[in-house]
Structure 1
Amino acid sequence: MNRSLAISGGSTLIYAGLAIVMGVLPGIWLSKVPPTPGLKPLTPLEARGRDIYVSEGCFYCHTQQVRPLSGDKPFGRPSAPGDYAYQTPELLGSERNGPDLSNIGARQSSSIWQYIHLYQPRAVVPQSIMPAFPWLFKLVDELPPGEKAVPLPPLVAPGHTIIPNEDGKALVAYLLSLKQPALVPTQAGAVPLSRLSGLPSFDARKGAALFADNCASCHGAEGKGVPGTFPPLAGDPVVNSADPTAHISAVLHGLSGKAINGQNYEAQMPAFADQLSDQQIADIIDHERSSWGNRGALVSAADVVAARANEPLLKQAASPERVSPAAVPAPAFDAAEGSKLFGEHCAACHGADGKGVPSTFPPLAGDQVVNATDPAEHITTMLRGLSGKLINGQKYEVEMPPFADRLSDQQIADIINHERTSWGNHGPLVTPAEITKHRAKK
């Protein structure tokens, strides 16, 4: 009897201890985690939409937890504890028959698209297995004041005017509220910003190898240089400057006759513009900016492209005989990456075949802007979005979201180049430097 009591009592204590350690204490800790900066509480309408989300079983097929895996990158940055501060219980979900919705309000910010998708998912995503939710809408013979009709494609339009009912409006309001604020690097759960939004990043091993092959013989493997002969890079103001222009220029075009930290160095630093690619130069610079205690802001290959495009113009004016059209590299892009990015960010509206959805989303195949010799309008549309514009004589009600804050210059260039080389289009390619230039214009 006493033995049985001891066994049952001991197992109960072990179970209780595990429950406290694995459930209660983490719950107490998580309850004290502050909201992610920039996260907003749900409005009453959004909170009602959350209830509709639950009652309609949306969490059976959709998760709201982005994992730190490469396969989850299209859904947003990895989720952090503070993301759930205003949503209890958390709707993490366990099945992903449809995409993760943690950041759907940013990925697909058009309410009209959301309404069409709810009414008939296959109208905008032909391969979708999601059920339709027509009971979230109502048919009207006459549009009520203040209401907007849902512009359904002709193939699924029921022959009457469709408007969302109160539940439909609430659900869409909730979906559009699901936006991930950017994490700062010191925040719990944060990953380097470069992995979240395409900001500069580099392969540290490649950077170290390139530095060893091209720079260490003068500046030293530890960045200390050789006193009186070759300048040190450790602690150098140019290397640590927030503005990398001088640093990039020195690697591209070399340096001589310049006092560095009050010291004149006779040895001339060679130019690497004709020896290394933009990515290799960026990797070397980033190695120097992140080694030996340096803390300079990282640069990207696009930064080197921009510097290479601007500064050599002065040299061309002085010695035009040294410049030939063949020496200027034509824009190129990774077709596979462009196709993938288009599929993740654009195909839901414009279609994988670039044909769009008649009367709802404009086609890109054969579009004048996509095929224009001057890509300015194409780039601006990708950066800042578009609404209320006639396209080939057709007015489209759905607003195209901006991508300036969601994609890097390289990613936007890859998407544009995919559009300009697909479905019979023949627009000239663009470079990340062109995106950088238009991004700077307000």
Structure 2
Amino acid sequence: MKKWLIATGVLVVLAGAGAKVLLWPADDLGPPAAASSLGSEQLIARGAYLAKAGDCMACHTTRGGVQYAGGRALQTPFGTIVSPNITPDRDTGIGSWTAADFWRALHNGKSKDGRLLYPAFPYTNYTKVRREDSDALHAYFQSLPPRRQANAPHALRFPYNQQVALAAWRALYFRPAVYQNDRAQSIEWNRGAYLVQGLGHCSACHSSRTTLGGSEEGLSGGLIPVLGWYAPSLTSNAEAGLGDWDTAQIVELLHTGVSPRATVFGPMAEVVRQSLQHLERADVQAMAVYLKSLPDTAPPARPAPRDTSETATRQLAQGARLYETHCASCHQADGKGVPPGYPPLAGNRALLTVSPVNAIRIVLNGGFAPGTAGNPRPYGMPPFGPVLDDSEVAAVVSHLRASWGNDAPAVSALEVNKYRSVPLE
């Protein structure tokens, strides 16, 4: 993330969590005025925190543009979605929206005028957000300086640009439902589930998609279309499942971007930098508790069939030579690295996923951990795309996936070439 993923032609890169006051003890929504019991300054401050949790700025602000004035073009398999202006300008923003109008958008995916919204605005997750938190977000956005900036039209292909098509999609993939506490679980677990499933909308990236952009159940991982990154499974301990991690290590990774066991790169680095690092540690802890509790639903891993042909043997030998020349000084000859600056490669799950895309892109474009309060001087890996051709990158990645106990299939030059020209965002 940061964020982004597709939900019916839409990428969203967000991540999130909530403040200590985010989780209210009751399951019922209560009257819409419940949040107004807070003073206006408290309500706005709470909304500002929730906006960080949802990483709203990631989609609603262009690079170098006015915060929340919209205009960011999100490329999807169905065309281009342009984020709207959500400053309180009455003509071009949401200045005329009431708290009820905002709630309808968040919970039901409908604009003030009743128009169906595209799930670039991830209401399929935000529907779980409680009314009092929606009201706090509304109060915060209404407190911002208004910016008069007309919204640009989307550029979706037919029939995806038709409201009737969107209505059919919603019938298949969307059911409004506020999060309900699981009374068999702890308060902390429920807080984490509320954040992960709702404002954090982790499933937006970490789940596979149907051909129509609908999200599959669970957090089983999936390729993020157009962005060209693989968001690993959060329920498979062979990928990014956290069942065998210490909770403190999960918190460290989510809050700072680095830990003794892993470092975040790509879209997830943006998620940590723009959203997760700004959350209360108690909220990140709650998310970690929930994520660690997810059962490992992946089938038992089968050893990859080992190619012993002369061509494969030559490729691995070439990869070993290139690794010694370009990589061993940081990641060490034994692949153990020097964490957290130089992540270990031996047993690194990012190298062992079925899709090798993340490893390919990091070798091509470099790997950069986020700069955070807990990691203020992040180490970065330089890009090797300019100095290695496709076959050489394939050889290095194949070597990494087959060394130090790693056991994953080799990579071809054709696979590398597929991602050499993919935009970085």
Q: Normalized against structure 1, the TM-score is what?
A: 0.24
Please identify the structure whose Cα radius of gyration is greater. Answer: 1
Q: Normalized against structure 2, the TM-score is what?
A: 0.25
Larger fraction in helix: 1
